[in-house]
Structure 1
Amino acid sequence: MIIDAFLTPYFPETENQFENSLVVMIDVLRASTTVCAALNAGAKEVIPSDSLDKAVRIYNSLSREVRFLGGERNGLMPQGFDAGNSPFEYVPEKVKGRSVILSTTNGTKTFQKAKNAKHKVVAAFANNAVITEYIKILLSEYDSGDAKLVFLCAGTNGRMSYEDVLCAGIIIHEISQIYTDCTITDTADAARNLYAFNANDMKNFLMKSDHAKILAAKGFEKDIEFCLTMNTLPVIPIVGSNTIRALDI
């Protein structure tokens, strides 16, 4: 098995690059966590959009009683949207049974990559335990020599973000304990090492990250605290061709 990681989403994607791969998509602050929150609150689906205009068009194509429009640019809710990108805004009384159209600065663009992957899931600290167990189940379907596990980190404005890389590193550490003969690329190993170096004090380390500082300056300290807390949302988001839906567990 090969374990690979892209620490930012800005790379030349070739046509068959992710064919037969299991791809794990991560934007801890905050899109991955918000997707988990929406699905855990009973949303029918999350429809990621890479642009605000496209998100509004999708929203307008749906009937009023089944739609919910969320997103952010530079951390703040766009005018006319139902919610921003805080996981606390995606509660059952707002999103249960609805299609959530979500457009964010970094994460939703990442969720639309790797079109030809065999499996795609969304990971965060909030769903770490259940998503790691599900990844183990999916990997068991492969012949060990054919499996390729790839992590796509959303980063922040084209730059690497510690929280995404460390989130990937936790899972890589866990999987590499099982598949001891796997091949780990330099970037995946860097993620694993970042976790190993900070395993005993992850939250304090990540509170000082660039993205956390940006969000804190905008008043989102509560979001940061929640997004960096492990295993609060036991949901498995499955990324399809156009939507993200929760696996029934």
Structure 2
Amino acid sequence: MRVSYFHTPERVPSGSMAAAAVVIDVLRATSTMAWALHNGAEAVQAFANLDELNAAAAAWPQQLCLRAGERGGSRLEGFDLGNSPLAVTAEIVAGKRIFVSTTNGTRALDRVQTAPLLVTAALVNRSAVAKRLLQQAPETVWVVGSGWEGDYSLEDSLAAGALAAALLGQGGMDLKTIAANDELCAAHALWSHWQHQPEQALRLASHGQRLERLGDHDADFACCAAVDSLEVVPQQSEPGVLKSS
């Protein structure tokens, strides 16, 4: 297995695709997706385009439909949910499909939608994702950070490094064996530095500071920094649709 890390979807090579792709958006899309599926959501369907989201949601049975929208860290007006892992409780999401669009995470999913195996990861489920990759043993893996509007994000690279560490720990390999680019090595080094203080790293990140300016997100930070708190692996079952696996 050879693993590459791209810190934004814009960095993903065009004209080819890896055997597996892992999309990361720690603050907060892939953390929220994992919690939604853990709490019984039927599926999470991701959209980069809001018009397409609204059209698909309108065609779904309304009693089984929730719309989740976020831009700039805030919930979109008129949507049922924003982008908080705390909001997707079992009482709200169980049995329902969540139609979601976020500032960054859903763009990253759209970029690697054609990967034969596509999963999402965050700190909360990084060991479960590592286990799935080792079970499937794809020859090439692209780990894609969502970044922030095309720029590097510290928190996504932290999670990419955490995933690499889990792969090494579970697979008995060394970093030189699996790393296909320097970006993965750098992400692993970042995780090695912050692994005992992940929440502090999330708060240091520019997007973490942005969330702090928007209001009290202490519970979101704690939730997103809770490493290996879930066993769920959101996996694409059809284009744009993620289900628990």
Q: 1:174 aligns with which of 161, 166, 178?
A: 166
Q: Which residue does the alignment assign to 1:133?
A: 131
TM norm structure 1: 0.90
Matched, 1:8 2:4: no
| 2:71 alignment partner, SS class | coil
- After superposition, the C-alpha distances for 1:95-129 in whole angstroms (9 at most, x for unaligned) are 11111100000001111222332211110111122
Kept after mapping to 1: 8 A contact 2:109/2:240: no
Distance 1:189 1:105 in 2: 27
| 1:184 alignment partner, SS class | coil
Distance 2:98 2:219 in 1: 22
Q: Which residue does the alignment assign to 1:203?
A: 199
Q: 2:93 aligns with which of 92, 95, 99?
A: 95
Letter in 2 for 1:129: S
Q: 1:221 aligns with which of 214, 218, 221?
A: 218
| 1:155 alignment partner, SS class | coil
Matched, 1:157 2:149: yes
Number of aligned pairs?
Answer: 239
| 1:83 alignment partner, SS class | coil
Distance 1:12 1:84 in 2: 27
TM norm structure 2: 0.91
Letter in 1 for 2:180: I
- Alpha-carbon spacing, 1:171–1:51, altered in 2? closer, same or farther (3 Å): same
Distance 1:96 1:198 in 2: 34
Q: Which residue does the alignment assign to 1:51?
A: 49
Letter in 2 for 1:179: M
The alpha-carbon deviation at position 174 of structure 1 amounts to 3.0
What is the aligned-residue RMSD (CA, Å)?
1.6
Unaligned residue ranges in structure 2 (runs of 5+): none
Kept after mapping to 2: 8 A contact 1:215/1:221: no
Unaligned residue ranges in structure 1 (runs of 5+): none
Q: Which residue does the alignment assign to 1:104?
A: 102
Q: Which has the higher helix share?
A: 2
Kept after mapping to 2: 8 A contact 1:215/1:224: no
- Alpha-carbon spacing, 1:37–1:136, altered in 2? closer, same or farther (3 Å): same
Q: Which residue does the alignment assign to 1:39?
A: 37
Letter in 1 for 2:10: Y
